[in-house]
Amino acid sequence: MFSGPSSVHATGTPCSITPVMSEVDLNTCIAEAPTDNSEFVITIGADFNITAQKDIAAGKNITLTSSSAVSIIISISGTGRHFTVEGTFVLEDNVTLTKSTTTQGGGIIVDGGSFTMNGGAITNAYVAAGAGVYIINNGTFNMTGGKISGNVSSSGGGVNITNGTFNMSDGTISNSRSTSCGGIFIGNDGIFNMSGGEISNNTTTSADSGGIRVQGIFNMYGGKIIGNYASTNGGGVMVYASGTFNMSDGEISGNTAIGSGAGVAMAGIFNMTGGKISENTADHGGGINVSLAGIFTMTGGEISGNVSNSNGGGIRAGIDTTVIISSGKIIDNIAPIDGGGIWMPYDNLVNLTVGAGVVFSGNSAATYVRMNPADQALYDAQISATTFSLPLPFNGFNNFDISYESDLPTDICQYDTSLWADDTGCVAAPNTGLFTDQASSLATSTLSLIASSTAVVAIFAIRKLLIKRS
């Protein structure tokens, strides 16, 4: 697991101009930096504009710092950036890289080099790809603090990893937007390791991947992916067919998708061994939507409190997908039509496996569906869960926990499979997860318990009074 380098304080050789007060000073300091990889410190002393992109050549190791809040403002005509990094570059607290409101451009290109962000900010850049940060040629970006925010592009508003690695242990990537992939784009040759920090409030306006698009590899060891929005699919995360997302801890929550998969939409591979996917909302598949030939495996963690406006409150999986859940919790998810916990087409249930370590609780859907005895063999082969939502003697193919299609009546009062007549007393009671006969019985039992308790208290009080008087 990546934990990221610790925050450093600039201690290397200082530039001969300290502090730097202008673009001319900055150019002098960059030229002055040696090429033997020894640390060279540039201290910024005031806000100033730059009119040309600065190159950090291979062998140069520059730390940019300041004792107070300052901004380097790019005002280049076209799409030039603040810095191209082929060597090593460190951004410390107080320094903001931003742009003039009247120009395009801004941000960082990591071109085979290494950029470490211990603080400061990269904001308001407007470039075609990876406005805030663009990583190519196996470059490396280490983020241990600071913020990348308010950036705009057509692919990866905040970050675009075409070829290279992004390691995030703290800081925020937020409020960026794009017509395709709002926050972060991870290409086929890109890797993102997240152990802390926050990816939040990023949006895509006309396509999928509000927070993150994964065509390469995303490893989530901690941190939060929260409050992102997609106008189609994948509010928090979109995993393409070539992509792999490994989640062992952290949180994906509060994301929204107008289409499918508010938390995660996926057609590739998603391995969940821990963490939480919760309180996401979509039209289909509130927590996770699995499509095409996607493979979702869960051996731990929690999928909870997600909402679908149709099918699959927790998980929605289409035809030809594979879902294997051996442990973890699927709880309190809501679907107003089918599959409160999990929705999967009837013809694809053979590709759904639920193990004995899974807990289902509090999931809800429109109606209960009773399993046809003809499907008992399929159920026995694929489903072996220990806990289902309602404390009643029926299986997980009940539509609250796992979606199921059946032409059998929807009552649960008659356990004799030779009797299939509907019973009006078995219609679901609103907002309870119980059925009317059970709800009435529960209410009666509760009132009886209260009355009995009151009587017991009264008897003890009278007895104590008599003893005192005697």
| Same-domain status, 116 and 222 | yes
User: What is the pLDDT at residue 207?
Assistant: 82
Look at residues 424, 371, 358, 432 and name the one whose alpha carbon lies nearest to residue 399: 371
Same domain, 101 and 80: yes
Q: What is the DSSP letter of 320?
A: T
Asked whether residue 363 is assigned to any structural domain, the reply reads yes
Question: Could you give the angle at the alpha carbon of 248 between the alpha carbons of 218 and 401, nearest 5°?
Answer: 105
Bridge partners, residue 311, by sequence: 338
Contact criterion met (CB below 8 Å) for 128 and 155: yes
From first to last of the 470 residues of the chain, give the pLDDT tens digit: 544 434 445 689 999 999 999 999 999 999 999 999 999 999 999 999 999 999 999 999 999 999 999 999 999 877 899 999 999 999 999 999 999 988 889 999 999 999 999 999 999 999 888 889 999 999 999 999 999 999 998 888 899 999 999 999 999 999 998 888 889 999 999 999 999 999 999 999 878 899 999 999 999 999 999 999 999 999 999 999 999 999 999 999 999 999 999 999 999 999 999 999 999 999 999 999 999 999 999 999 999 999 999 999 999 999 999 999 999 999 999 999 999 999 999 999 999 999 998 999 999 998 877 788 888 899 999 998 888 886 555 689 989 999 998 766 554 443 333 333 344 444 443 333 333 333 333 333 333 333 333 333 332 332 332 233 33
Co-location of 333 and 467 in the same domain: no
Residue 108 inside a domain? The answer is yes
CA of residue 432 relative to chain centroid, distance: 30
Helix, coil or strand: residue 442 = helix
Which residues are CB-contacts of 282 (< 8 A; sequence separation ≥ 6)? 235, 256, 257, 258, 259, 260, 261, 262, 289, 307, 308, 309
Residue 166 within any structural domain of the chain: yes
CB 74 within 8 A of CB 105: yes
CB atoms within 10 A of CB 156: 34
Q: Is residue 78 located within the same domain as residue 152?
A: yes
Q: Does 451 lie in the same domain as 396?
A: no
Query: Which amino acid does the sequence have at 264?
Result: V
Residues 380 and 442 in one domain: no
- Indicate whether 400 and 457 sit together in one domain: no
Judge residue 380's burial from the number of C-beta atoms within 10 Å of its C-beta, 0-12 exposed, 13-18 middle, 19 or more buried. Answer: exposed
Which amino acid type is present at position 287? G
Rounded to an integer, what is the distance from CA 394 to the centroid of its chain? 33
Confidence (pLDDT) at 9? 57
Q: pTM value? A: 0.86
Q: How many Cβ atoms from other residues are within 10 Å of residue 359's Cβ?
A: 15
pLDDT at res. 388: 87
Per-residue model confidence (pLDDT) at position 118: 97
User: Do residue 417 and residue 446 come from a single domain?
Assistant: no
Give the residue from 151, 191, 154, 188 showing the smallest Cα distance to 173: 151
Q: Which domain holds residue 210?
A: 13-426
What is the C-alpha separation between 384 and 396, in angstroms, rounded?
A: 9
**Cα–Cα dist 148/160, whole Å:** 12
Give the single-character DSSP code of 347.
Answer: G
For residues 30 and 53, state if they share a domain. yes
Cα–Cα distance, 70 to 74 (Å, whole number): 13
User: Please, are residues 161 and 184 in contact by the beta-carbon 8 Å criterion?
Assistant: yes
- What phi, psi does 442 have (nearest 5°)? -65, -45
Residue 67 has what pLDDT? 94
| 118 Cβ contact partners less than 8 Å away, ≥ 6 residues apart | 7, 8, 90, 91, 92, 93, 144, 145, 146
pLDDT score of 432: 36
- Same domain? 55 vs 144: yes
Report pLDDT for 440. 37
Residue 8, in any domain of the structure: no
Question: Which amino acid is it at 244?
Answer: T
The token duo for 358 is 């899974």
Q: Which two tokens stand for residue 80?
A: 């030039």
Kindly state the helix (H) or strand (E) to which residue 266 belongs, with its residue range: strand 264-266
The one-letter code for the residue type at 462 is I
d(CA 201, CA 394): 42
In the structure encoding, which two tokens stand for residue 186, read together? 């991870």
Tell me if residue 292 falls in helix, strand or coil: coil
Number of domains forming the structure of the chain: 2
What is the Cβ-side half-sphere exposure of residue 80, based on CA atoms within 13 angstroms?
A: 15
Whether 146 and 215 map to the same domain: the answer is yes
The predicted pLDDT at position 115 comes to: 98
Answer whether 215's CB lies under 8 Å from 238's CB. Answer: no
> Are 393 and 458 members of one domain?
no
Q: DSSP 3-state assignment of 380? A: helix
Amino acid identity at 96: T
Residue 155 CB neighbours (<10 A): 23
The answer to whether the beta carbons of residues 229 and 255 sit under 8 Å apart is yes
Peptide bond between residue 391 and the one before it cis (omega within 30 degrees of 0): no
Q: Classify residue 410: in a domain, yes or no.
A: yes
Could you please report the per-residue DSSP string of 222-258?
S-EEES-EESSS-SSEEE-TT-EEEESS-EEES-EEE
Name which of 408, 343, 344, 413 is nearest 375 in CA terms: 408
DSSP element (H, E) containing 363: none
Q: How far is CA 75 from CA 52, 53, 78, 92, 321, in A?
A: 8, 10, 9, 22, 49
Q: What is the identity of the amino acid at 61?
A: N
Q: What is the pLDDT of residue 10?
A: 66
On whether residue 164 sits in a domain, the answer given is yes
Do the domain assignments include residue 120?
A: yes
Asked if residue 1 is part of any domain, the answer here is: no
- Tokens read off for 303: 């999928």
Please provide the DSSP assignment of 376-395 as one string: HHHHHHHB--SB-SSSSS--
Gap between the Cα atoms of 235 and 225, Å rounded: 10
